[in-house]
Structure 1
Amino acid sequence: MMEQVVSIDEYLKEFPVSMQKLLQTMRNTIQAAAPEATERISYGMPCFYAKGNLVYFAVHKNHIGFYPSSSGISAFTNELKAYKYSKGAIQFPFDKPLPLALIKKIVEYRLQENFDKAAEKERKAQLRICKNGHQFYKSSDCPTCPICEKKNKSAQGFVEKLSAPATRALLNEGIKSLTQLAKYKEADILKLHGVGPSALPIMRKALKENGLTFKK
């Protein structure tokens, strides 16, 4: 029975030199395909880790077991017809050369899969819902809700597009936001001293951009 090992080097030393060479070849192939991966022993087997467990391998009586997860097998079933395999394991018999090119492809596939999953997980972790119910992905480039920011800029900027008399008229009436403006009828706004007909299209456009209209 194999003693408990803590590294792949120790695992390999448990076997005859000829087997060590075979396992080292497999190890080198995995390392070349996934240079980002770190080595560890997991479940008593050599394991390669990159954003999660990548692949395992282990020595059995008549074969080397290769464990690239179910996805790493289902993606290569056509190329695995010459080997025994199950949902999560592939058997590489000792009496056949290791299919190094295939192993490399499977490892690269699993590496990309792990990185894609990690990126999606990180992306979901950044998903935020602002107080107005808008979904956005928070980042250093987008720390606040871009929809609200756009509306706020539009809401704050519409007054600047009005003439000075029209601006004073709105402020004197206590109208400082588009939400407040939407509570008025167009006719009521036109009654304000300083507001002329040319101001209404500017107000209508600003209201429309923010999903609002004058009171009917």
Structure 2
Amino acid sequence: MTTIAHLRQTALGLPEVTEGTHFGMTAFFVRGRGFVSVASPDIVQVRLSPDEVGHVLEAHSGSEAIEKNGGAIGIRVPLTLVTGKDLNDLVVRSWMWRAPKRLAQRLIEAQQTGSDAGDLPRSLGAPATRALLTAGLSTLDEVAETSPSEVAKLHGVGPRAMRLLTEALAEGEREWHDPR
């Protein structure tokens, strides 16, 4: 069964996402704009474009539209009705709808070039690679020119990714940029 932990991991793996609350619910925001929230332990609310609401409702019977001022603004879906893959798709669609257009475009470009991520270590994993590419860091030289604290702030880049990047820089006889 898909869980709230899965939702949290997916949402926080996207660029510039923060976790907070909205009307007492756990919610996820991109630059202050909510895109996904937890209505109850087993129901998720996902903001979507009006065009997508109908398509998603057809694909996930048992979900319901969320309306505001007579128009559909998203869906409410029980976690028992979606697979992890479906939830990932809904979260990314929602993020794309609510994120600033330039940020969304950077994610699209990062996903398109993800398989050709320069000389970044392949063992980084998708969230860290996506975070680096979205930040415009597609090579180890570009990573080296960025301070470690800035790289570590990127959503999706954790201690393991930092260790792998440090090792890859050392193998190439490069060092992190010292901002002093």
One fold, TM greater than 0.5?
no
Structure with the bigger percentage of strand:
2
TM-score scaled by structure 2? 0.41
Structure 1-normalised TM-score? Answer: 0.35
